[in-house]
Structure 1
Amino acid sequence: MSKGFTLIELITVILILGIVSVFAVPRLSGTEAFSVMGARDAGLSVARQVQLRAMQQEDPSDRCNALFVTASRMGGSNNTGCQWQNDRSDVVDLSDSQVRISPVQTFYFDLLGRPVSSDTTRLCTNASGCKITFTQSVSAASICLNSEGYFYACD
């Protein structure tokens, strides 16, 4: 009785490791890509949270329930009249990082969660919808928003 692995077993394991590395290595190829994807995922969560809060309000143009996107911050209003506490969960603040957000814009939401402007004109109505992009150097990750209010990670 010989101990060890057959050639077919070794080739199978090497092949599986090769396939896994092709998909895993580019995604984890450094802190830069990780930072951008982490910021995008946090932004996606915040966008959905602000949208849900806005859907519970009567006035879609209420600035306290809008999603504000700036170069280093994404989330609910920082207006002191909105009575928010300092430790909020509806904001992604990237001012201490290299990650930047574009384009700068503001989304309001109607009672169905659809994106509208401050005068309640529907937004993101073209075929590609709206896109919010997080970038750092050469890495980028985006959030897309369609006309019906569905936020999702996109390229």
Structure 2
Amino acid sequence: MIKNSGLTLIELITVILILGIVSVFAVPRLSGSEAFSVIGARDAGLSVARQVQLRAMQQEIKTNELLSSCNALVVTASRMGGGNDTDCQWQGDRSDVVDLSDSQVRISPAQTFYFDLLGRPVSSDKTRLCTDASGCKITFTQSVSAASICLNSEGYFYACD
């Protein structure tokens, strides 16, 4: 009596189908570090944005006092984080900055967000920002990969597309 110990045609097709489905989703993510760089930069930027916002919410602002750039979220093409004025007296390494000058990831648009005591985004003259339905969007790009941070008028930062 001979025992056949091979795969049937149905089993073989099922295995090929499962491998095909897995490769469609996994290979683009694993084929290069570009997508990981953009997503990693976006996630770091999200953390920094929330940190700067919390620090700004803890500062007492008088009615006629100008908003301090030390508590502002400054976004440039290669940097996102707390203000960099000499008046702020920051020393050493800062945890509230994402510096992408050594990478190919770029941030747009360049802008500065201040926050009121409730964490809502405002301009330097205390005018509310991000008030339309789409809010404000900060985009991290590297060639064809992109990831974004959105900010609504109430100060909620979240990852978006």
Structure-1 residue corresponding to 2:46: 44
Aligned-residue offset at 1:102: 0.6
Report the secondary structure of 1:143's partner residue: strand
Greater shift in the superposed pair: 50-59 or 22-31: 22-31
Question: Deviations for 1:7-28, whole angstroms, at most 9, x for unmatched residues?
Answer: 6555554444433332222233
Kindly report the root-mean-square deviation, in angstroms, between the aligned alpha carbons of the 2 structures. Answer: 2.0
Structure-2 residue corresponding to 1:152: 158
Gaps of 5+ in 1: none
**Taking structure 1 as the reference length, what is the TM-score of the superposition?**
0.88
Counterparts of 1:10 and 1:54 in 2: how far apart (Å)?
Answer: 60
Provide closer, same or farther for how the CA distance between residues 111 and 4 of structure 1 changes in structure 2, counting only shifts above 3 A: farther
Counting aligned pairs with the same residue, the percent is: 88
Structure 1 runs (4+) deviating above 6 angstroms are: none
Paired residues, number: 155
Greater shift in the superposed pair: 56-65 or 37-46: 56-65
Counterparts of 1:77 and 1:144 in 2: how far apart (Å)?
Answer: 20
Is 1:35 the counterpart of 2:43 in the alignment?
no
* Matched residue type, 1:39: A
Counterparts of 2:55 and 2:18 in 1: how far apart (Å)?
Answer: 45
Gaps of 5+ in 2: none
**Taking structure 2 as the reference length, what is the TM-score of the superposition?**
0.85
Greater shift in the superposed pair: 90-99 or 13-22: 13-22
Greater shift in the superposed pair: 24-33 or 127-136: 24-33
Larger Rg: 2
